[in-house]
Amino acid sequence: MFYRQLAQQLAAGLTLAQALRAPSPAPAADCRLLADHAEAGQSVTRLVAQAGPWLPEADRPLITAAAAAGRLPLVLVHLADHHAELAATRRRVIGASAYPLFIFHLGALVLPFVRMIDFERGLVGGVPTYLSGLATILLPVYGIALLGWFLLRRGNPIVNALLDLLPAIGGYRRQRALSDFAFTLGTLLEAGAPIGEAWSQAGASSRSPRLRRAARRVRDSVDLRQSPGPLLAATGAFPVEFVHRYQTGETTGSLEQALLALAADHQERAKGRLAAATALYPGLLFAGVILMVGYIVIGFALRYMETINSLLQ
């Protein structure tokens, strides 16, 4: 929303300082400070460096290059569309996971209570026993989830390798990485960045080790005044279609458009993989909850039968 609004205001003829002072979803105090710096004559590069954490790190080189080339409104529109797509993806994941997670937590709340029921003495153990049983179920799950999230944020290669092996999730990550890489590279080129610098920045912002290695290799070839196109297949990081369309765009002079079209195509494929993942894994979680409920019911029934048998004897 902020990017699109800023692009519209700049296209309408407002200065960057005036556009930053307008009400927007970005932090008002930070925008006022950036507007003051812009009026003082600071470059967009310095403004971007001084922005708070609300401005994504991956977007900063794109904004800097676009401003230097005089194409800031166009690149801001691309970024707005890109972030809107990412937000829609997050909503789909959260929506698909909400109900199974609710059922899991409901089962986790019930199971310790059922275990405390004794048919001869009533409830046994009290609150400490219940909380201990609840912690036994939830703490390992939360601990594994937090550890995985932390390692993933740190770019742990083992966690990334394991995620890439998972059905549907691995395909989603590969397609998403290609989409983000093509989007960053195409946007940088459209913003006027030199080809070598564009490859270097696109690789540095990628979460895929293979794409980072390939980008460094291509950057080295560009430094030797070699065209990137013929080298892409040799890197092993790009699918055949990606290589072909890149080379076609390079030959016809429409490389930026080809890369942005590739980004959109890989994003659509990533959506398909994500749809499969949001059907598969919440289903597995729900099946696990059903098994847990079945365990509760069967255990409860068996203990009830044991109590009845002991009374009959």
- Asked if 189 and 163 count as a contact pair (C-beta separation under 8 A), the reply is no
Length of the chain: 313
Residue 262 lies in a domain: no
Copy the structure tokens of residue 254: 């429409």
- Asked if 49 and 24 count as a contact pair (C-beta separation under 8 A), the reply is no
Q: Give me the torsion for CA of 85, 73, 57, 45, rounded to 10°.
A: 180
Residue 212 lies in a domain: no
Which of 196, 186, 199 is closest to 257 using CA atoms?
186
Query: Which pLDDT score, from 0 to 100, does residue 122 have?
Result: 62
Domain hosting 31: range is 2-79
Query: Which pLDDT score, from 0 to 100, does residue 245 have?
Result: 92
Residue 281 lies in a domain: no
Residue 50 lies in a domain: yes
Residue 231 lies in a domain: no
Residue with tokens 């019930």: 110
Give the count of domains, the chain: 1
Report pTM: 0.73
Q: For the chain, which residues score pLDDT lower than 70?
A: 69, 118-123, 299-300, 303-304, 307, 310-313
Query: Which pLDDT score, from 0 to 100, does residue 190 have?
Result: 83
Copy the structure tokens of residue 285: 């979680």
Residue 55 lies in a domain: yes
Query: Which pLDDT score, from 0 to 100, does residue 97 have?
Result: 77
- Asked if 74 and 66 count as a contact pair (C-beta separation under 8 A), the reply is yes
Residue 174 lies in a domain: no
| DSSP string computed for 18-56 | HHHHS--SS-HHHHHHHHHHHHTT--HHHHHHHS-TTS-
Residue 169 lies in a domain: no
